[in-house]
Structure 1
Amino acid sequence: MAMRRMRGGYEAFWSLALLALMAATFRLWLPASWIGTGDYPAVPMFDLAKVGLTQQAAGLVSFAATLAIVVACFATVGLGRSRLTWPIIAVSLATAVILDQHRLQPWAYQSFLYAILFAAAPRDESGRLSESTFRLVRLLTISVYVFSAVGKFDFQFLHTVGQDFLKAPLQWGGVDVSAWSARTRLIAAASFPGFELCVAIALSWPRTRMLGVWMATVMHLGLIAVLSPMGLGHSPGVIVWNAVMAMQAWWLFAGTVVEVEDEPNTEIRRVGALPWTVVVIALVMPIFERAGYWDHWLAWALYSPHSSRVTLQIHESAIDQLPEEWQAAITADDDPDRWHDFHLGQLSLAVRKVPSVPQARYQWALADRIIQQFGIENQVRGKVQSASDRWTGERDEQWWTRPDEFEKAGKQFWLVP
Structure 2
Amino acid sequence: MSEVPRSSEEVRLGYYRRVLAICGLLLVGTSYKLWLPQTDYPQVPVFSALVHAPAMIDYVLAVGIIGSLLAWLVTPNRQATLAAWSTAMCIAASCLLDQHRFQPWAYQLIFSTIILATCEAKLALRLLRMIVISIYVYSSLSKLNLPFMRDEGQMFLDVLLGWVGAKEALAASVRQGMTLLFPLGELTVGVLLAIPRTRKLGVIFAAVMHTTLLLVVGPLGLNHWPGVLLWNLCFLAQAPLLFWPMAEREGEEPVEAPPAKLRAVGIFAASFVLLFPLLEPLGYCDAWPGWALYASHVSRADLYIDDAAAEALPEKLRPFLVETEWGAYRLDASQWSLHALNVPIYPDDRFQVGVAIAASQRYGVALFSQMSVQDPADRWRGERTETRYRGPEQMKEATKRFWLNAEPRDRLAR
For normalisation by structure 2, the TM-score amounts to 0.90
For 2:169, the equivalent position in structure 1 comes to: 179
Which of 10, 18, 26 matches 1:12? 18
Task: Give the Cα separation in 1 of the matches to 2:215 and 2:15.
Answer: 28
Which residue is equivalent to 2:48?
47
SS class of match (2:285): coil
- Equivalent residue, structure 2, for 1:340: 329
Shift of 1:3: 4.0
The match for 2:179 among 173, 177, 189 is 189
Instruction: Indicate the residue corresponding to 1:398 in structure 2.
Output: 387
Query: Is residue 135 from structure 1 mapped to residue 141 from structure 2 by the alignment?
Result: no
| Counterpart residue number, 1:70 | 66
Corresponding letter in the other structure for 2:70 = F
Asked if the contact 2:136–2:189 (Cα under 8 Å) also holds between the matched residues in 1, the reply is: yes
Give the C-alpha shift of residue 327 in structure 1.
1.5
Deviation, 1:319, is 2.3
Map of 1:92-241 to 2, 5 A cutoff?
A: 92-121=90-119, 129-176=120-167, 178-241=168-231
* Secondary structure in 1 matching 2:282: coil
Distance 1:263 1:291 in 2: 47
Deviations 1:25-68, CA, capped at 9 Å, x for gaps = 22212342xxxxx2322211233467xx55xx2x2111111111
| Conserved 8 A contact 1:220-1:246 | yes
Show the 5 A alignment for 1:355-394: 355-394=344-383
Which gives a bigger RCO, structure 1 or 2 (Cα 8 Å, sep 6+)? Answer: 2
Shift, 1:231, TM fit: 0.9
- Return the match for 2:86 from 88, 101, 109: 88
Measure, in 2, the Cα distance between the counterparts of 1:27 and 1:238: 16
In 1, Cα distance between the equivalents of 2:253 and 2:174?
50
Give distance in 2, aligned partners of 1:263 and 1:154.
50
Question: Tell me, which stretches of 5 or more residues in structure 1 are unaligned?
Answer: 33-37, 122-128
Separation in 1 of the partners of 2:82 and 2:256? 25
TM-score normalised to structure 1 length: 0.89
Residues 252-401 of structure 1: pairs in structure 2 closer than 5 A: 252-256=242-246, 272-334=263-325, 337-401=326-390
Residue 399 of structure 1: how far off its partner (Å): 1.5
Structure 1 runs of 4+ off > 4 angstroms? 262-271
CA contact (8 A) 2:133 2:190 kept: yes
Q: Which moved more, 1:140-149 or 1:181-190?
A: 181-190
Note the alpha carbon deviations across 1:229-272, whole angstroms, 9 max, x for none. 321121111111111111111111113276xxx99899699572
Instruction: Name the count of aligned residue pairs.
Output: 395
Whole-angstrom CA distance in 2 between matches of 1:226 and 1:70: 30
Structure 2, unaligned runs of 5 or more: 1-6, 408-414
Aligned residues of 1:325 and 1:351 also touching (Cα < 8 A) = no
Contact 2:356–2:371 (CA under 8 A) maintained in structure 1: no
- Residue 158 of structure 1 aligns to a residue whose secondary structure is helix
CA distance 1:378–1:31, shift in 2 (3 Å): closer
Secondary structure of the 1:290 match is: helix
- Matches of 1:17 and 1:257, distance apart in 2: 27
Q: Return closer, same or farther for 1:39/1:7 CA change in 2, 3 Å cut-off.
A: closer
Q: Report % sequence identity.
A: 34
**SS across alignment from 2:286:** coil
Preserved CA contact (<8 Å) 1:326 1:351: no
C-alpha displacement of 1:406: 2.1
1:35 aligns with: none
